[in-house]
Amino acid sequence: MVGMTRESESGLPIEPVYGPEALEGWDPAEKLGAPGGYPFTRGVYPSMYTGRPWTMRQYAGFGTATESNARYRQLIAHGTTGLSVAFDLPTQMGHDSDAPIAHGEVGKVGVAVDSVDDMRVLFDGIPLDQVSTSMTINAPAALLLLMYQLVAEEQGVGADRLTGTVQNDVLKEYIARGTYIFPPKPSLRLTADIFQYCRAEIPRWNTISISGYHMAEAGASPAQEIAFTLADGIEYVRTAVAAGMDVDDFAPRLSFFFVARTTILEEVAKFRAARRIWARVMRDEFGARNPKSLMLRFHTQTAGVQLTAQQPEVNLVRVAVQGLAAVLGGTQSLHTNSFDEAIALPTDKSARLALRTQQVLAYETDVTATVDPFAGSYVVEKMTDDVEAAALDLMRKVEDLGGAVAAIEHGFQKNQIERNAYRIAQETDSAERVVVGVNRFQLDEEEPYEPLRVDPAIEAQQAERLARLRAGRDRSAVDAALAALKKAAESEDNVLYPMKDALKARATVGEVCNALREVWGTYVPSDAF
């Protein structure tokens, strides 16, 4: 007897058996193409991992720049091929570590970076022309990128040799995460300025990582994740085109950031559907001609929200399954979470185990032996079509509201995600959704675990560093540079050039962001929804 139909994470049916009839009337040329060819369903490169594996990019950063630098050196020594920097909340919100609002948060969820002095320490001894660096920073992305460029210049590394990514996706902050500073319009203008600056000054840099990960962590389904992420991507492209840029001048440097859940089949289908949708949008709506403009290249992180504090070692299994889903889905780079992240910041050992998980996938399995192992699978191809249709329906609703920013102002994406999060919570509470160690297969008593803790003295140490910085710099040069920055923000000039001058003069993150706050104001969310 054949089993019952189940539902996917997106609420779409998964039949117990699939056959040729699932793909009746299906055109492989239209739906698949060849690997590395339009519509890129089968991957963005012809050889994918058969030539070399994905970039193993571990997300790390905590406490002071000195401590984070030590962790980066360890990761590189263990085989990490790309760094991914986590910044603390004050840095993400554009505040200095000694600001009253930063109290209690300095160095907690990432590294504290107040000035170019901290950035210099953060990358001490790490040759920036030999490592690819991703920075998870959004509203102040321009500042951190410019500090990175300044440190590279001090190392004698030209900006044309720098590779990496700034997340720089502020729209998802209004939807799901909340670390915004400025209102949407000036935030989009700042994004366009980064696009233009990097095209002229840092040509190999990925200027944005348009992120669905945080929406998924807030409760978005796979279909919602790619729908709202691609809708944000469309908004960024429109903004850059409206600023006078040719789509093929910046689109090849766009990248995306998605989650990988434990539901392997739907995750593979999600990644394939996202590539296909983006290729068509870029070709048909924006008239992109460069094949690289049509490629949806993405980084993946395993699903932090699915990790449990109960029986944390079980998270090692979850992360391995999630990482496999990302690889089978064709990711360009991958971060695997550490098993103890539901409890605290990862220890050195758990971070190393997370990296080893990727290395086992890359070197001990056969998933890198052939391109797109699931191509032609009845279930995966049908699920790809279903996820694509559901995502396109949501994207049309965003367009009907006037685009991503207008939909944000209506509360549409946030409302949809919260509804799905509530459904997941109900299913977990009722044990309809099984979470091993939480609502089934529990232990009577959890084993003790000693987490990594951040020293609260870091806040005072950063305040002392800031005091020394302010005492030892040319205050008149800082004031003049900040005045030039405000003048550029009031006009249509690119703000990154005077911003770089201010940071070089050792203006702090808080001072630069406050200068822009004076001109652009701050975003206050509507409580209507």
- The predicted-structure confidence for 215-248, as pLDDT tens digits, reads as follows 999 999 999 999 999 999 999 999 999 999 999 9
Has residue 528 got a pLDDT over 60? no
pLDDT number for residue 454 = 78
For the record, the structure tokens of 338 come out as 């550490």
The residue behind tokens 């992240």 is 341
User: Cis (ω within 30 of 0) for the bond into 46?
Assistant: no
For the record, the structure tokens of 512 come out as 């630069």
Confidence label for 2 from pLDDT (cuts 50, 70 and 90): low
Question: Could you tell me the residue ranges of all domains in the chain?
Answer: 6-46+180-429
Listed residue (162, 204, 345, 375) closest to 337, CA to CA: 345
pLDDT number for residue 529 = 39
CA distance 298 to 449: 34
Query: Tens digits of per-residue pLDDT, 141-169?
Result: 999 999 999 999 999 999 999 999 999 99
State residue 467 phi and psi, 5-degree precision.
-60, -45
State residue 387 phi and psi, 5-degree precision.
-65, -40
Q: Please tell me which residue, 62 or 40, carries the higher pLDDT value.
A: 40
Question: How many C-beta neighbours within 10 Å does residue 443 have?
Answer: 9
Query: Tens digits of per-residue pLDDT, 46-81?
Result: 999 999 999 998 888 888 999 999 999 998 998 887
What's the angle, vertex CA 467, arms to CA 461 and CA 472, rounded to 5? 130
pLDDT number for residue 453 = 78
CATH no., domain 6-46+180-429:
3.20.20.240
Backbone CA torsion sign across 115, 118, 120, 122: negative
Has residue 503 got a pLDDT over 90? yes
Confidence label for 7 from pLDDT (cuts 50, 70 and 90): very high
% of the chain exceeding 70 in pLDDT: 99
pLDDT number for residue 4 = 82
CA distance 451 to 349: 11
The residue behind tokens 């012809």 is 46
Has residue 527 got a pLDDT over 80? no
Query: Tens digits of per-residue pLDDT, 425-483?
Result: 999 999 999 999 999 999 998 888 777 777 889 999 999 999 999 999 999 999 999 99
User: Which positions ≥6 away from 471 have C-beta within 8 Å?
Assistant: none
CA distance 305 to 216: 8
CA distance 421 to 424: 5
Q: Please tell me which residue, 410 or 80, carries the higher pLDDT value.
A: 410
Query: Tens digits of per-residue pLDDT, 420-439?
Result: 999 999 999 999 999 999 99
For the chain, give the mean pLDDT. Answer: 95
Query: Tens digits of per-residue pLDDT, 104-118?
Result: 999 998 999 999 999
Listed residue (190, 239, 172, 137) closest to 520, CA to CA: 190
The H-assigned helical ranges of 15-98 are: 28-31, 65-77, 89-92
CA distance 138 to 171: 9
Listed residue (237, 203, 192) closest to 493, CA to CA: 192
Q: For strands 208-211 and 205-206, give the pairing.
A: unpaired
